[in-house]
Amino acid sequence: MLLAAHLRVLSLATGQRDPVTGLVVNGRPEGEGGDELLGLFLNTVPLRLDVEAGSWADLVYAAFAAESEVLPFRRFPAAELQRGLGGAVLYEAVFTTPISTSTAAGGRARDRGSRRALLGRRPTLR
């Protein structure tokens, strides 16, 4: 729903019926041990959507479908895509959904657990 709202506002701000935004996606390896790798596995992929078709609910479903369509490309390097397009600007706005560890998993205890993981000790999830 937030992505749909972002695209609608972007459409209103730019006057474009089908705005392009950069969608920040998680590219962490999904195989065995991927959850133990340290690093920031984020990438930004371009996402275009016609926001003028149908109702608000239609827009929300269309945004979900568009997000699902770009997920297979979440590990394709944005810099390589930009080079392939002759250095063209891919997007001028970016959408991401912040997830706070302090609100996602029980407050400060989760934050301390995250610090322990960075120091080499496994956190205890509460």
The candidate with the shortest Cα–Cα distance to 75, out of 32, 112, 106, 31, is: 31
Phi first, then psi: give them for residue 28, nearest 5 degrees.
-60, 135
Higher pLDDT, 121 or 56: 56
Residues 110-125: pLDDT tens digits? Answer: 444 443 444 444 444 4
The answer to whether 44 and 75 have CB atoms below 8 angstroms apart is: no
pLDDT on residue 31: 81
Domains of the chain: 2-95 (3.30.559.30), 100-126 (no CATH)
Give the pLDDT mean for 23-41: 82
Give the pLDDT mean for 16-23: 93
pLDDT on residue 99: 60
Does 49 have pLDDT greater than 70? yes
In a 3-state reduction of DSSP, which class is residue 103? helix
Percent of the chain topping pLDDT 90? 41
